[in-house]
Amino acid sequence: MRLLILGTGGMANAHADNFSKIDGVSLVGGVDVDPARLAEFCATHGIERQFASLEDALAWGEFDAVANVTPDRIHHPTTMQAIAAGKHVFCEKPLATNAIKAMEMTEAIEASGKVGMVNLTYRNSPAVQKGRELVLSGAIGKVRHVEASHLQSWLVGNHWGDWHTETKFLWRLSTGHGSNGALGDIGIHIVDFASYGSGLDVAKVFGRLRTFDKAPDNRIGEYTLDANDSFTMNVDFTSGAIGTIQATRTAAGQMDQLRLRVYGETGSVEMIYDTGTSTLRACTGEDVHAAKWHDVPFDPVETNYQRFVAAVRAGKTQEPSFRRAAQIQKVLDAAMASNASGRDALV
């Protein structure tokens, strides 16, 4: 499979590293509007061809698939171009900045017959994969309650860099630069993690978003810092279960932690991804009466990158698909609508 990397910022390195390790995958081109960044990226990863625009790359056309690693607001137009040119697409999350655009992309890729998948990276956690198996097997009975959180701290710590001075952070804080804040950036991850891990679909949302003062007049250079920094959701699932989903970039002491607890009528499961480490625990059977938890072993799982390559070779889309990401985007849109109205919003 010949792969084009579209957008060569920080996350593109993870794409290049992961895809280059898969037998039979060749990184044949890179695209970026910043020539210096593009040249450095291509030199680092041994990529021969460099393009200043997707149009130039498509005119060349000697590739099978696109890894779309552009900023959020660019996903829709560039993916639509790639689909129209008959390419498979592996898109960074979120698929689009709203559900209408995400569904347009979904319908286009499905009509094309090409593979379209989204890099919901925490699906790579073996804990959530095994935990979902336990829930769906009936090991905890019917699910009654769900508790999920995604906690980061880069607004209060410099472990990933200084957000005050680096554009890779600043654009994520500005709606004018295409960001939907923490909700759009990590909200899609935790909603997917909670919904996928519990095996449930969200039906209704009561959402609250908050943007905190971070600079004089909440501006740094060209960036207005108006995107949300934290959110909470009370959710109803289609099954009748209820739960809470929350995320923030201000959780000092938490570099990158997703935690999901699924409480059923006969037991509970806890799935944790914490900065590269996965943990799975359960309270089932007779342990319920003593409130005793035990660790659950799990095996390694394929990454999204490996699943995408396998899907292209088989000609059949795997999860997480465009349609899945579009459905999660509906939940995020409902949270924004609820925050604006002060009322529940249907998904």
Amino acid identity at 310: A
Average of per-residue pLDDT across 141-146 = 98
CB 262 within 8 A of CB 135: yes
Over residues 214-219, mean pLDDT: 97
Please name the CATH architecture into which domain 123-346 falls. Answer: 2-Layer Sandwich (3.30)
pLDDT at 328 over 90: yes
Q: Is the pLDDT of residue 41 over 90?
A: yes
**pLDDT over threshold 90, residue 227:** yes
Q: Are 232 and 338 a contacting pair, CB within 8 Å?
A: no
Interior/surface letters 191-206, b for 16+ CB within 10 angstroms, e for the rest: bbbbbbbbbbebbbbb
Q: CA 295: distance to chain centroid?
A: 27
| Contact of 41 with 32, CB cutoff 8 Å | yes
Q: By C-alpha distance, which of 213, 192, 46 is closest to 121?
A: 192
Residue 15 confidence (pLDDT)? 98
Query: pLDDT at residue 145 above 90?
Result: yes
In degrees, rounded to 5, the angle at the alpha carbon of residue 270 between the alpha carbons of residues 266 and 276 is 160
Beta-carbon contacts of residue 26 (< 8 Å; ≥ 6 apart): 1, 2, 3
Q: Starting from the edge strand earliest in sequence, which strands make up the sheet with 65-68, in order? A: 49-51, 26-31, 2-6, 65-68, 88-92, 116-119
Interatomic CA distance for residues 147 and 40, integer angstroms:
43
End-to-end CA distance of the chain: 37
Distance between CA atoms of residues 197 and 195, nearest Å:
6
223: tokens are 């960036």
Contacts of residue 171, defined as CB under 8 A and 6 or more positions apart, other chains included, come to 71, 177, 178, 179, 223
The pLDDT > 90 percentage for the chain reads 98
Position 213 pLDDT exceeds 90: yes
Q: For residues 69 and 32, what is the distance between their CA atoms, to the nearest angstrom? A: 10
- One of 1.20.120.1200, 3.10.150.10, 3.30.465.10, 3.40.50.720 is the CATH number of 2-121, namely 3.40.50.720
Angle at Cα 230 formed by Cα 227 and Cα 235, nearest 5°? Answer: 115
Determine the Cα–Cα distance for residues 260 and 191; give it in Å rounded to an integer: 10
Angle between helix 322-341 and helix 188-198 axes, rounded to 10 deg: 110
Picking from 133, 150, 166, the residue whose alpha carbon sits closest to that of residue 301 is 133
Beta strands in the chain (DSSP E): 2-6, 26-31, 49-51, 65-68, 88-92, 116-119, 143-152, 202-210, 219-220, 223-224, 230-237, 242-248, 256-264, 268-274, 277-283, 294-295, 345-346
Instruction: Give the rounded distance of the alpha carbon of 216 from its chain centre.
Output: 31
Mean pLDDT of 77-84: 98
Query: pLDDT tens for residues 276-318?
Result: 999 999 999 999 999 999 999 999 999 999 999 999 999 999 9
- Global pTM value: 0.95
Cα–Cα distance between 102 and 291 in angstroms, integer? 43
Confidence at 178, pLDDT banded by 50, 70, 90: confident
The domain ranges of the chain are: 2-121, 123-346
**Backbone CA torsion sign across 300, 303, 307, 310:** negative
The 8-class DSSP code of residue 244 comes to: E
In angstroms, the CA 40 to CA 3 distance is 18
